[in-house]
A and B are shown apart, each in its own frame.
Chain A
Amino acid sequence: MPCFLRQAARLTRREIIALGAIVTVPHSVHAQQKATPVIGYLGSESPEPYGSRLAAFAEGLAEAGYVDGRNVAIDFRWAEGQYSRLPALAMDLADRQVTVMVAPGGAEVALAARSATKTIPIVFELGGDPVALGLVASLSRPGGNLTGVTSLSVEVSLKRLEFMSDLFPAARTFAVAVNPTSPTSGSQSRNLLATASSLGLELRVFNASSEPELDAMFAAVSQTQLAGLVFTSDPYFAYRSRRLAELAIRYNVPAITQARDFPNAGGLMSYGGDFRQSHRHTGIYAGRIIKGEKPSDLPVQRVTKVELFINLKAAGQLGLTMPPSLLSSADVVIE
């Protein structure tokens, strides 16, 4: 630059002005890029099923003072349901040197993000124990470049079995849907089996990690006359609530999942964390990190609210009468 300036000193006035224009334009573009922080948003599905979660995230971000397109830019990467693509997408975001990476929607996403960078702050959102998953050292002191929000969805898998057993007090065997590719499937299965034995129940575990498997599972449950289908907590299931509700109606299967979207779409029941809260908190944390807080100083937040949704219309179609203990526990009863 000094050499360049020395040359410029010999130029005419008009040439210097022209040069100034050339020099300053790329500089101002660069400055603008530097001024606007970029959030790398890693999604396991496509934007459509993420809609309500994105809205909650934007709400949280706004609480922290950031609005997409105004003072922050969001760079989205969607795995379109193919979770194997997540690590590559995470690497892509890491290469772009985003200000903060947001990895919502389950352990897979969080793990993929963690594998991509050790320096860029990552905010995860998942329904399990991040300490057990090895994402953070402890809830109060995450330690590394990760922090985030957990919901109790994974912990309360066993409550789903309990509610189903309350609904069918006489039934002894229930079906359980597990996504074998999920990092939390093992612990959830173990918990459920332990619960079943303490309640004196038997479980039949169905593995489902693809559309055909889901279809086959419902068909099997309906044919084997199992009392009800209990879904473990897994984003793969959560994002397919609408599809699951369709299948449940088609196969006339009483089922309980983690996401309220399921009873809202015609399914029977759901019990799980409030994803809108968790995604909102994710947005708040992303904003706070952009403001300069270190992820290691931000404790992992647990969204302790768990909500029971019951769709009475679905119950009526299934020919079920809801016991008062269930109805009195329900946060929302859809008539």
Chain B
Amino acid sequence: MTQSPSAPRSSLFAKYFIALFAAVVVPLLVAGGSEAWFGHHDQRARLNDLLEAEARSAAAKIQDFLDGIRDQLAWTVQLPWSDGADERRRLDATRLLRQVPAVVSLTLIDASGRERLFVSRIGLNKIEGGTDHSASPAFKGVRPGAAWYGPVTFHAGSEPFLTIAVAGTRTAVGVAVAEVNLKLIWDVISAIRVGRTGEAFVLDQPGRLVAHPDISLVLRADQTAIRPLQALRARITTRNGQATEGRDIGGHMVLAAMAPIPSVDWSVVVKQPVTEALEPIYTALWRTGALLIGGAGFAAALAYWLTQRMIEPIRLLEDGVARIGAGQFDHRIDIATGDEFERLATRFNEMAGDLAVSQERSERIGRLKRFLAPQVAELVDRSGDDSVLDGRRIEVVVVFGDLRGFTAFSARAEPEIVMSFLSEYYDALDRVVIDHGATLTHFSGDGMMVLINAPVSRPDPALCAINLARDMQKTVQFLLRDRQALDHRLGFGVGLAMGPATVGRIGSEGRLEYTAIGTVVNLASRLCASAGNAEVLVDMVAAEAVDGRAPLVELDAHVLKGFDQPVRVFAVGEAAAG
């Protein structure tokens, strides 16, 4: 029990910590992860919707720009032509030029395709010019009451222009054809903002840049430079018009959506840098991530705390058990958790208390065995109760035995011989005492004191004592007979007396003895002292108690030291006879 058990292969702390941590973190991760995943998807879909709405709104603005011009042109084709010059129409036309800055020139053509009026910002105005426009695509293409849009042309290879023709509801009112400088869409396109830095641009059907916030890109009319923009449109087209990711001219990743302008077959594309468009998503992801990390940290702290709380009493128990096991029975395990651990600790404490009591008792009994006959000791041991050893007054028989001539022998003989003789002497007497169930209370040199009827009561103690004394004499005489040859003048005398005495344990905790105190002890001692070799002297009380069941011979009354009156003394018959 002194050796502490080897360290466990896996600690309970780690197990509980992992279990508790996982119990909190796994659901957190699952919830956070799925939230982030689905949130990302929803946001992404919403972003696409938003961008597509932006594209439609941008397309509507460009459409408004064109519709505004068309509506203005419609005013000029309401009345049928007369033969002569029409001053009112000229005023209308000049007013239109002032009203619509994008219109560079306006041609009014009558039903037969003849040019009746031409007004321009740059060139000379012409009244009744008469040029035949009947074969021009604008005149041929336009339907009554509708508008016709020509292809985008780049003047001097730079500025984008568009021809718009509007026919009146009746053929007689003719057709108005306007040259529109598309550079002026810039005001519209540059005002479109998608998010913070996103922007819109317009491509015509063949993929030429019609409008872009950077006007110089339009004016460059460079097909290679705008290839990324065309690619962007192509990507959206392949995805059936859904918003998609791609690269813009600067090579930056952008999110783009498209809306068509059917009347001119243009595409309005809005784009927003991916980093900006996805910023809210990333912000949300970062937030979720931070929350997860924070949650995991909290879970770890919580798990650590809980585990610590759980493991602490176990450690205390382990430590306590180790101490108690090491014999420290006064150790108490102090746990006040109010749960099973506290109950367990209480059990351990009780156990330690019981162990302490039992050890103390076994120690005491061990000590008692020294002076109790083994049967007595066994009795005390079995009953677990040493109250028989408690002090009391009782009728006992005290037997004293003593060697004669031992002092001279011990002075003469070698110490080894003395000690070996004493050892044999005591061994023999001890056996006799044990055989008779008596209690050997005292050794002293060559003498000994034996108690009968205490601490274990015996029936007929006097007879038992006389038998014991006779056996003691017999044993010692047998022992001495062997020594006679060695010329050892040794003898053995025994005295016994019966009477009340105070019996019990006396002495300190370390040197405890069971003994008897009283006149009877003195009397027995004196009788022993006055007994000759091979003689057993018995006092009157014991003799009367035997009442003839043992051969006793009354001797002359002895005058004994410490006794005022002469004492009646009996000798055991055999001895007397011998």
Q: Which residues of A contact B97 (CB under 8 A)?
A: 329
With contacts A299-B220, A329-B97, A331-B98 known, is A140 near B158, CB below 8 A?
Answer: yes
Identify which of B118-126, B351-359, B460-468 touches chain A: B118-126
With contacts A304-B104, A325-B90 known, is A140 near B221, CB below 8 A?
Answer: yes
Smallest beta-carbon distance B179→chain A, Å: 11
Q: Which residues of B contact A331 (CB under 8 A)?
A: 98
Q: For residue B183, which residue of chain A has the nearest CB?
A: A304
Q: For residue B157, which residue of chain A has the nearest CB?
A: A140
User: In chain A between 272 and 305, which residues have their CB closer than 8 angstroms to a CB of chain B?
Assistant: 288, 297-302, 304-305
Identify which of A22-30, A69-77, A151-159 touches chain B: A151-159
Q: Which residues of A contact B157 (CB under 8 A)?
A: 138-140
With contacts A304-B104, A304-B181, A328-B91 known, is A138 near B122, CB below 8 A?
Answer: no
Whether A155 contacts B94 by the Cβ 8 Å rule is no
Whether A299 contacts B216 by the Cβ 8 Å rule is yes
With contacts A156-B122, A301-B216, A301-B219 known, is A139 near B156, CB below 8 A?
Answer: yes
Whether A300 contacts B121 by the Cβ 8 Å rule is no
User: In chain A between 104 and 131, which residues have their CB closer than 8 angstroms to a CB of chain B?
Assistant: 131
Does A306 reach chain B (CB closer than 8 Å)?
yes
Whether B220 contacts A297 by the Cβ 8 Å rule is yes
Does A224 reach chain B (CB closer than 8 Å)?
no
Smallest beta-carbon distance B208→chain A, Å: 12
Whether B95 contacts A139 by the Cβ 8 Å rule is no
Whether A301 contacts B215 by the Cβ 8 Å rule is yes
Does B101 reach chain A (CB closer than 8 Å)?
yes
Does A134 reach chain B (CB closer than 8 Å)?
no
Q: Which residues of B contact A138 (CB under 8 A)?
A: 156-158
Does B222 reach chain A (CB closer than 8 Å)?
yes
CA distance A331 to B184 in the complex (A): 17
Our pick among A300, A325, A329 for the contact of B158 (Cβ within 8 Å) is: A300
Scan B118-160; emit 1 where CB is below 8 A from any A CB, else 0.
0001111100000000000000000000000000001011110
User: In chain B between 210 and 224, which residues have their CB closer than 8 angstroms to a CB of chain A?
Assistant: 215-216, 219-222
CA distance A324 to B104 in the complex (A): 20
Q: Which residues of B contact A162 (CB under 8 A)?
A: 124-125
Whether A195 contacts B124 by the Cβ 8 Å rule is yes
Q: For residue A131, which residue of chain B has the nearest CB?
A: B156
Smallest beta-carbon distance B70→chain A, Å: 20
Q: For residue B121, which residue of chain A has the nearest CB?
A: A306
User: In chain A between 49 and 93, which residues have their CB closer than 8 angstroms to a CB of chain B?
Assistant: none
Does A172 reach chain B (CB closer than 8 Å)?
no
Does A198 reach chain B (CB closer than 8 Å)?
yes
Count residues of B near A (Cβ-Cβ below 8 Å).
28
CA distance A60 to B145 in the complex (A): 44
Count residues of A near B (Cβ-Cβ below 8 Å).
30
Q: Which residues of B contact A329 (CB under 8 A)?
A: 94-95, 97-98
Q: For residue A156, which residue of chain B has the nearest CB?
A: B122
With contacts A140-B158, A304-B159 known, is A328 near B95, CB below 8 A?
Answer: yes
With contacts A304-B104, A305-B101 known, is A140 near B220, CB below 8 A?
Answer: yes
Q: Which residues of A contact B122 (CB under 8 A)?
A: 152, 155-156, 159, 306
With contacts A162-B124, A304-B183 known, is A141 near B98, CB below 8 A?
Answer: no
Q: Which residues of B contact A288 (CB under 8 A)?
A: 216
Q: Which residues of B contact A300 (CB under 8 A)?
A: 158, 219
Which among A140, A141, A195 has the highest number of chain B CB atoms within 10 Å? A140
Inter-chain contact count A-B, CB under 8 Å? Answer: 75
Q: Which residues of B contact A171 (CB under 8 A)?
A: none
CA distance A156 to B91 in the complex (A): 20
Which among A131, A141, A331 has the highest number of chain B CB atoms within 10 Å? A141
Whether B219 contacts A139 by the Cβ 8 Å rule is yes
CA distance A47 to B87 in the complex (A): 46
CA distance A288 to B73 in the complex (A): 38
Scan B63-103; emit 1 where CB is below 8 A from any A CB, else 0.
00000000000000000000000010011001101100100
Smallest beta-carbon distance B211→chain A, Å: 15
Q: Which residues of B contact A152 (CB under 8 A)?
A: 121-122
Q: Which residues of B contact A131 (CB under 8 A)?
A: 156
Q: Which residues of A contact B159 (CB under 8 A)?
A: 139, 302, 304
Smallest beta-carbon distance B218→chain A, Å: 8
Whether A299 contacts B158 by the Cβ 8 Å rule is yes
User: In chain B between 377 and 411, which residues have their CB closer than 8 angstroms to a CB of chain A?
Assistant: none
CA distance A324 to B215 in the complex (A): 36
Q: Which residues of B contact A199 (CB under 8 A)?
A: 124
CA distance A125 to B431 in the complex (A): 143
Whether B156 contacts A325 by the Cβ 8 Å rule is no
Q: Which residues of A contact B221 (CB under 8 A)?
A: 140, 299
With contacts A140-B221, A328-B98 known, is A198 near B124, CB below 8 A?
Answer: yes
CA distance A300 to B221 in the complex (A): 12
Smallest beta-carbon distance B234→chain A, Å: 24
Q: Which residues of B contact A304 (CB under 8 A)?
A: 104, 121, 159, 181, 183-184
Our pick among B94, B101, B222 for the contact of A325 (Cβ within 8 Å) is: B94
Smallest beta-carbon distance A268→chain B, Å: 18
Q: Which residues of A contact B184 (CB under 8 A)?
A: 304
CA distance A141 to B124 in the complex (A): 29
Whether A298 contacts B125 by the Cβ 8 Å rule is no
Which among A195, A328, A330 has the highest number of chain B CB atoms within 10 Å? A328
With contacts A297-B220, A329-B94, A329-B98 known, is A156 near B215, CB below 8 A?
Answer: no
User: In chain B between 188 and 228, which residues have their CB closer than 8 angstroms to a CB of chain A?
Assistant: 215-216, 219-222
CA distance A19 to B222 in the complex (A): 56
Smallest beta-carbon distance A293→chain B, Å: 9
Whether B94 contacts A328 by the Cβ 8 Å rule is yes
Q: Which residues of A contact B101 (CB under 8 A)?
A: 305
Smallest beta-carbon distance B470→chain A, Å: 119
Smallest beta-carbon distance B108→chain A, Å: 15
Smallest beta-carbon distance B67→chain A, Å: 21
Q: For residue A324, which residue of chain B has the nearest CB?
A: B91
CA distance A288 to B214 in the complex (A): 11
Smallest beta-carbon distance B209→chain A, Å: 11
Smallest beta-carbon distance B190→chain A, Å: 11
CA distance A297 to B221 in the complex (A): 11
Q: Which residues of B contact A156 (CB under 8 A)?
A: 121-122
Smallest beta-carbon distance A117→chain B, Å: 22
Smallest beta-carbon distance B297→chain A, Å: 45
CA distance A265 to B522 in the complex (A): 160
CA distance A162 to B125 in the complex (A): 8
CA distance A152 to B183 in the complex (A): 15
Smallest beta-carbon distance A198→chain B, Å: 7
Q: For residue A305, which residue of chain B has the nearest CB?
A: B101
Q: For residue B124, which residue of chain A has the nearest CB?
A: A162
Q: For residue A331, which residue of chain B has the nearest CB?
A: B98
Smallest beta-carbon distance B365→chain A, Å: 92
Q: For residue B98, which residue of chain A has the nearest CB?
A: A329
Smallest beta-carbon distance A258→chain B, Å: 13
Q: Which residues of A contact B94 (CB under 8 A)?
A: 325, 328-329
Whether B91 contacts A325 by the Cβ 8 Å rule is yes
Q: For residue B154, which residue of chain A has the nearest CB?
A: A140
Smallest beta-carbon distance B414→chain A, Å: 101
User: In chain A between 298 and 317, which residues have their CB closer than 8 angstroms to a CB of chain B?
Assistant: 298-302, 304-306
CA distance A138 to B156 in the complex (A): 8
Q: Which residues of B contact A297 (CB under 8 A)?
A: 216, 220
CA distance A158 to B121 in the complex (A): 11
16 contacts between A and B (CB under 8 A): A138-B157, A140-B154, A140-B221, A156-B121, A159-B124, A199-B124, A288-B216, A298-B216, A299-B216, A301-B215, A304-B184, A305-B101, A306-B122, A325-B90, A328-B98, A329-B97
Give the 6 A-B CB pairs with smallest separation, nearest first.
A299-B219, A139-B158, A140-B158, A329-B94, A299-B220, A328-B95
Known: A199-B124, A328-B91. 10 other contacts (CB 8 A): A139-B157, A140-B156, A152-B121, A158-B123, A195-B124, A298-B216, A299-B220, A301-B219, A304-B181, A305-B101
